[in-house]
Amino acid sequence: MKRSFYLVVMMVAALSFTSCDKDDDDEKVIVLETDFNKAANGLKSASETGPGNTTTDGWAAVYAEYPKVDTEFYELVSGIKNLPAPLDQTKKAFMLSGNNHSDALQMFLVKQLSGLAPQTKYTIETEVELASQYPDGSVGIGGSPGNAVHLVSKFATNGYTLEEGKDERDNVKLVLNKVESVPESVLNIDLGDVSIPSEKYEYQLITRKKSSSSTVVISDSQGKLWAVVGTWSGFEGISVLYYTKIKITLTKN
């Protein structure tokens, strides 16, 4: 009888230990994913937490490296749109468009992430799915419309500031707000370019994915962190991109 009792106690202890390990693993990795088609139709992405509206899941469009006085000249347009042909035009995406007269135009989506552990260091993997029509190796003014349009993700503990110059002709600049003496307060990840494996200018879905490896960023005292995802361009022409999914995986360091 005593032996059976001890066996039961040992089994319960083992199960409890396993459960604790699982909880620790669940807290260590946080996956935040936005599917813009689902968001546009009022369907919350299964793994997304935190506030958001019914169309963009909390993401907003931000432009930089252009003179604010020339907003119309740069043809800056954004919003939830149907995917272009030959893709499924019943599905929606977050479209960003602009005419890069400055040879430096930046077109970003920004969002404040929440649900993280407070003041905790994380490595980050960013995965972006978007529709592009610009061939690998294509030629354009100032650079290739595919290879010279660079996709990046940025993260900042204290968010970002859009700085306007003293002169109206100065470019608006997006600056990540660094925390003094805390190098982990900002993080930049290069995701590649927006070129497609084709010789035709025809929209297709592409995916870019990269981890920050051992480089970390720290959340704020409320467990929040700002994310910036998008492009900076050396191609001096019009770029029109459709973001379909953004997946951010944060691993506690």
User: Six-digit token pair at 208?
Assistant: 């870019």
User: Six-digit token pair at 225?
Assistant: 């962190």
The CA-CA-CA angle for residues 25, 31, 33, to 5°, reads: 165
Backbone angles phi, psi at 219, to 5 degrees: -75, 165
- With 50 as the cut, is the pLDDT of residue 19 above it? no
Q: What is the pTM of this model?
A: 0.86
Quick: pLDDT tens for 38-72.
Answer: 999 886 543 333 333 447 999 999 999 999 899 89
CATH of 29-252, one of 2.60.120, 1.25.40, 3.90.550, 1.20.58: 2.60.120
Quick: pLDDT tens for 219-239.
Answer: 999 999 999 999 999 999 999
110, 224 Cβ separation under 8 angstroms: no
Cα(205)–Cα(130) distance, integer angstroms: 6
Cα(252)–Cα(179) distance, integer angstroms: 20
- The structure tokens 């813009």 sit at 36
234, 146 Cβ separation under 8 angstroms: no
State the pLDDT at residue 244.
Answer: 98
- pLDDT exceeding 70 applies to what percent of the chain? 85
111, 61 Cβ separation under 8 angstroms: no
- Picking from 176, 216, 209, the residue whose alpha carbon sits closest to that of residue 190 is 209
Quick: pLDDT tens for 80-132.
Answer: 999 999 999 999 999 999 999 988 999 999 999 999 999 999 999 999 999 99
State the pLDDT at residue 130.
Answer: 98
The CA-CA-CA angle for residues 168, 170, 176, to 5°, reads: 120
Q: What is the DSSP string of the chain?
A: -HHHHHHHHHHHHHHHHHHHHHHHHHHHEEEEEEEHHHHHTTPPPTT--S---TTTTT-EEEEESSBGGGTTTTT-EEEEEEPPTTS-TTSEEEEEEEE-TTS--EEEEEEEE-SPPTT-EEEEEEEEEEEE-EETT---TTS-TTTTEEEEEEEETT-EEEEPPSSTTSBPEEEE-PBTTBGGGEEEEEEEE-EESSSS---EEEEEEEE-TT--EE--TTS-EEEEEEEEE---SEEEEEEEEEEEEEEE-
